[in-house]
Amino acid sequence: MLDEIHYYRERARQAAARGNYDDAILALITIAQQTQISENEYVSILRPLEAAMSKRGDARSALTVQWYLSQSERSQSERSGRGIDGGLGYDLRLLQEVPHVDRARTMAAAGDVAAAGREMEEAGLVAAAAIYREKAGQWQEARALWSRLSQVLRGPRGAGGAAPERGMRNADAYHAALAQFNLARCAKQCNDAGQARDAIVAAVRLLEEAADHFESVGQRERAFDCFQVLVQIGREGGMFENILEGYVNCIRILREDHLKYFALQYFEDALSVAKEHKEYSAAATLAREAAEYARALSLHSASTYYTTVQAELWHDVAVQQIERGGPPEIAENALLAAIVSLGELGQFVRVGALYEELSRMDLEPVRKAHYARAAGRYAGVRDEMLNAAQLPSHLRQDNHVTEVWHLDLVEWEQQGSAAEACADLLLNPALPDLIRRKALLTRLTAFAVEPVPTSGAIMSDGPSDAAATNARVRLCEQLSQLQMYAVLSPLERLFTRPERQVRVAVMTAMQSLFFKRSFVTVRAGLTDPDPAVVEHAARAVESLYFPHAFDPLARIVRESSQAPIRAAALRALAHVDSREAAEFLLGILEHGAPIDRHATLEGLKRTRGARFVELARASITSSPPDVQHALREILRARGIAA
């Protein structure tokens, strides 16, 4: 490998010495594809590459390489940051030759976010400018920008040429909601309570509208984003009803997608917030549902823990009602609910204490006497041992809230630009060097097919000759290698191209992008008029199996009229090891068309998931003879005795 690096580097040096910078750049980019080499070796390739690009007059490409080099220098502590033209390695001359958006990114990387905001505003990128203004603490300027964007999204012609707000597209409703939320945040910082309140009301209504639409078209992950924003709106505005609505729906979606540990973590977060707001009745209800859910997952210690929490919260409800002077019957019912919870756990000493507490309440004498007798029956009893624990740390996952109110508006504003999406990845120091290197190379490819951005303009389609088509195919390949959520928007835009090769390349790229959103483009590919695109889309369907892919895969089976497409989805479902997928496939074996039953049978014979085996063993004796035969065939293929 080192010999190869030295060869191409020397070849590039000789070409540059002759003034042939095109050949020099080609040689260096060829070896730069070896993204696994050490950082020192990689930098030794990029330095002459940046020099050749600068001498050729390709300012955007040269500056892009400088971004990587500067990040490398910073991470290795080779220089101290002294400004744009100092230790961070940026060439001021290049900055005068690149678009405003590139200058903005460079200034932000250098730490001057206020200047970055001004440059983004010059570029016509209002959302990005507002975010930089927020980071600079310039809340009045940010508020003005969010207000302007809100008017664009809700005005007489919204984004994408939508009609006024009442008839706007649901994607526009989502982006309008995010803009309203950002406006409310900034108005609050500017002590404008009236504007903040009005913006919050608009944001909540638009979020609910967008969430309904996303769920109706099977994009639950986008609905989840809506509800996460709703939680954040409630947190920042102190409105518990919004927090509760957001959390309840987030939990519902996580449960439907079988993300069980995430769901339990969201239960705990919701419980914590409810207790902070002293909404003990809502918290107790959440604890009961968490206990039932954990029990269904056979997480018995967690179920016990949530049941004890439920009992404590019902007691808190009773105390709260008494302190508020509420009807004693409400406190009575709360204590009885606590008794039921503790009784389930065998905590009889505490049950007796609660009955004693009931006997002292301001109730009818008959009921007080009844509770006193009940308390007496628990004299001298013992509590059963409890095995109660929260969700273990090794099962917990990072569920921090992503700032979609910023990120999704930036994505919308970038209009599917691969160059801009890759710039975000390249300049993110938290990402591994491997990802940032691939983002660098992908951005350089994107420059060949994406026009230079101009202020506030809709991104044009760019060149359409054979060389551009080949570059777009290569771009699809490079985007797929990044395997990041951020590449989906550029691929979605590329799929709108008329060239068959490009649309096929997009479908090929989707095979390695395991996100529910990938199915949006894949489903479009399944209905493409070109059979080659449909064929590659079906291959993507068969490749996209992961725990929460059940819903989009099952939807394809139910809706597609083409047997090969249904077969691809069924084979993918055979790899989804969940109870829901197992029951769906068993239903196909029992009631599906012969061709679907065959695809299901062959798919299940080649997988190793345990859920279907459990279901097969439980239902084999009660199944029709032909289904029994199929189940035995599947079990034998897996080496399991029927």
- We report the CATH number of the domain holding residue 88 as 1.25.40.10
Q: Are residues 10 and 103 in the same domain?
A: yes
Residue 424 placed within a domain? yes
The answer to which of 92-101, 234-243, 457-466, 511-520 has the lowest mean pLDDT is 457-466
Q: Which of 299, 321, 350 is the last residue of a domain?
A: 299
Contact between 628 and 598 under an 8 Å Cβ cutoff? The reply is no
Q: Which of 299, 329, 363 is the last residue of a domain?
A: 299
Residue 321 placed within a domain? no
Report CA 447 to chain centroid distance, whole Å.
28
Handedness of CA 538, 542, 543, 549 (dihedral sign): positive
Question: Residue 457 — very low, low, confident or very high, per pLDDT cuts 50/70/90?
Answer: low
Q: Are residues 118 and 147 in the same domain?
A: no
Q: What CATH number should be reported for the domain holding residue 182?
A: 1.25.40
Q: Are residues 607 and 572 in the same domain?
A: yes
Mean pLDDT of 204-214: 94
Residues in the chain: 642
- Quick one: which H or E segment has residue 238? none
- CA angle, 243 as apex, 238 and 249 as ends, to 5°? 170
User: Residues 6 or more apart from 400 whose CB is under 8 A from it?
Assistant: none
Distance CA 573, CA 586 (A): 11
Residue 131 placed within a domain? no
- CA angle, 277 as apex, 274 and 281 as ends, to 5°? 50
Distance CA 27, CA 24 (A): 5
Mean pLDDT of 564-589: 95
Domain range for 212 is: 138-299
Residue 347 placed within a domain? no
Q: Are residues 83 and 192 in the same domain?
A: no
Distance CA 427, CA 416 (A): 18
Distance CA 500, CA 535 (A): 12
Distance CA 500, CA 565 (A): 19
pLDDT exceeds 70 at position 364: yes
Question: Residue 278 — very low, low, confident or very high, per pLDDT cuts 50/70/90?
Answer: very high
Question: Residue 133 — very low, low, confident or very high, per pLDDT cuts 50/70/90?
Answer: very high
Residue 185 placed within a domain? yes
Mean pLDDT of 625-635: 93
Joined tokens for residue 244: 């509760």
pLDDT exceeds 70 at position 315: yes
Q: Structure pTM? A: 0.86
- Quick one: which H or E segment has residue 445? helix 433-447
The predicted pLDDT at position 512 comes to 96
Mean pLDDT of 438-456: 89
Number of domains in the chain: 3
Residue 462 placed within a domain? yes
Q: Are residues 164 and 42 in the same domain?
A: no
139-158: pLDDT as tens digits:
999 999 999 999 998 764 44
Q: Are residues 83 and 164 in the same domain?
A: no
Q: Are residues 59 and 197 in the same domain?
A: no
Q: Are residues 627 and 550 in the same domain?
A: yes
Q: Are residues 111 and 225 in the same domain?
A: no
Contact between 443 and 65 under an 8 Å Cβ cutoff? The reply is no
DSSP state of 383: P
Contact between 566 and 599 under an 8 Å Cβ cutoff? The reply is yes
Residue 391 placed within a domain? no
Distance CA 469, CA 321 (A): 70
User: Residues 6 or more apart from 470 whose CB is under 8 A from it?
Assistant: 501
Q: Are residues 39 and 178 in the same domain?
A: no
Q: Are residues 23 and 113 in the same domain?
A: yes
Helix and strand numbers, DSSP H then E, in the chain: 33, 0
The predicted pLDDT at position 397 comes to 65
Q: Are residues 116 and 157 in the same domain?
A: no
Residue 81 placed within a domain? yes
Question: Residue 548 — very low, low, confident or very high, per pLDDT cuts 50/70/90?
Answer: confident
Q: Which of 122, 157, 192 is the last residue of a domain?
A: 122
